[in-house]
Each structure stands twice: as C-alpha cells, then as structure tokens.
C-alpha cells in the first residue's frame, strides 16, 4: 500500500482513505502498545482512541517535504502522546497505588472542617501528615495505657471543651477532670 497515495486521497475527502491508512498502521500500533505500554494494556480502548486522534493530527500537520517519512513521524508522535497519557494517568490516578485524601472531604463525618481548610494554615503538607501519623501512633499507645474514661476526656478536650464543660457532660468533679488532663499531658510530653 502506498501511504502517500492514501494521504492524498484523504485530502481529496475520500472517506475510506483514513480507515485504510489506520488499518495499514494497526499492526504497528499493536506492536508499540504491547512493547512499550505493557503496564497500561488494560487501557487498550483509550490508547486506540489516542492512536486515531494522533493519526488525524499527523495527517493535518504532515508535510511531504519533511525529512521524516510519514510512518516514522506518526510512530514518534504516537509514542510521545502515549507517554504523556501514561504520565497524566499516573499523576491523577493515585488511588491505584496509594491511599489519597480529597481536600474537599470533611475531616470527620461529625465536623464542618474540610481538609483544604486544614491544609491552608501555611505549614507544609508533609509536616502536617507526619504530625498526624505521630498523633495516631501516640493515640494507639495511649489506648493501652489509659482507661476508656481517660480517653473520652481527652477526645472531649480535643473537641475544644473546657474542663468544666467536660465535667458537666460526664457528671464528674472538675478537679478530677483537670487531674486526668494533666496526667495525659505529662504522658504525651514524655512520648
């Protein structure tokens, strides 16, 4: 098959020329897909759509006086577009390998604070994540050390309640709540 004749027929508005040219290049497309993009083979349909789009763009942008042959020009363009597609998918589909948090989600179901409000405090995200991980590790250790009542007082304090409000909520003496909070504060300072 003469590729340049098909390109000429394509520009003469022959409807079959694009299909025949695509069918001629299809074995090369499948070879490239199996060789270079083995880890993205599950996205075969999207990659074939990209191949058709790149063929159309190459037809519109190709020139006969170029140094490259059309097939080489198309192959290089297709590989570059697939690489861009692959990198885009890796950047935007983090859920394939990592857990992710959307900044539009609420921090907890019972709060009105969103992640983006928490992140916009000026600290780096890495620092905030590390602090959060350390806090979770300490909370797990505290669950082994303290009673349910002590941990309940701590969670109420983290919600912003004062010692008097905690005492009224739990029906205890405020001095007992302050004592437990100081005990917890010392333990967290040591660890």
Question: Is 128 contained in some domain?
Answer: yes
Mean pLDDT value across residues 113-141: 70
Question: Is 104 contained in some domain?
Answer: no
Question: Is 143 contained in some domain?
Answer: yes
Among 49, 77, 94, the domain-final residue is 94
Beta bridge partners of residue 106, listed in sequence order: 114
**31 and 88 co-located in one domain:** yes
> Contact, 77 vs 57, CB < 8 A?
yes
Summarize pLDDT for 102-124 with one digit per residue, the tens. Answer: 544 554 555 555 555 555 555 56
**22 and 90 co-located in one domain:** yes
> Contact, 107 vs 115, CB < 8 A?
yes
Question: Is 107 contained in some domain?
Answer: no
**Torsional sign, CA 151, 155, 156, 157:** positive
Question: Is 67 contained in some domain?
Answer: yes
Question: Is 114 contained in some domain?
Answer: no
Question: Is 178 contained in some domain?
Answer: yes
Summarize pLDDT for 45-77 with one digit per residue, the tens. Answer: 888 888 889 998 988 887 766 677 888 888 888
**7 and 90 co-located in one domain:** yes
CATH number of the domain residue 144 falls in: 1.10.10
**90 and 137 co-located in one domain:** no
Question: Is 63 contained in some domain?
Answer: yes
Instruction: Indicate the number of domains in the chain.
Output: 2
Tokens 């992140």 belong to residue? 119
| 176: confidence class by pLDDT, cuts 50, 70, 90 | very high
Give the residue numbers spanning the domain of 33.
3-94
């Amino acid at each position: 098959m003469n590729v340049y004749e098909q390109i000429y027929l394509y520009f003469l508005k022959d409807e079959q020329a694009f299909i025949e040219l695509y069918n001629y290049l299809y074995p090369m497309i499948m070879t490239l897909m199996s060789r270079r993009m083995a880890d993205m083979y599950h996205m075969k349909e999207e990659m074939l759509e990209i191949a058709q789009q790149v063929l159309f763009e190459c037809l519109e942008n190709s020139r006969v006086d170029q140094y490259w042959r059309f097939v080489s020009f198309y192959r290089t363009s297709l590989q570059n577009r697939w690489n861009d597609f692959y990198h885009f998918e890796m950047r935007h589909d983090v859920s394939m390998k990592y857990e992710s948090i959307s900044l539009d989600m609420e921090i907890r179901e019972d709060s009105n604070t969103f992640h983006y409000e928490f992140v916009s405090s000026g600290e780096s995200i890495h620092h905030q994540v590390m602090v959060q991980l350390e806090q979770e590790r300490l909370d797990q250790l505290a669950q082994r050390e303290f009673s349910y009542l002590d941990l309940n007082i701590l969670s109420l304090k983290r919600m912003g309640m004062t010692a008097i409000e905690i005492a009224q909520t739990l029906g205890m003496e405020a001095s007992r709540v302050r004592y437990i909070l100081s005990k917890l504060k010392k333990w967290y300072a040591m660890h």
